[in-house]
Amino acid sequence: MSSNQNDSFDIEAHEKTFHGFIKAVEWGVGIIIAILIFLAIFNS
């Protein structure tokens, strides 16, 4: 088993990366929804 070393894990960097990932997912979903609405309106 691995030893528990709390000082080797940077939680702030982890949280910053996680929040960046969530923001990118939100933008991606928003863009996909906008494309689907555009296609539905103009019947492409």
pLDDT tens-digit map of 1-44: 556 665 677 899 999 999 999 999 999 999 999 999 999 999 86
Residue 3, SS3 per DSSP: coil
Rounded-to-5 percentages of helix, strand, coil across the chain:
80, 0, 20
pLDDT at 9: 79
pLDDT at 6: 58
Global pTM reads: 0.66
**Cα separation of 30 and 36, whole Å?**
10
pLDDT at 8: 73
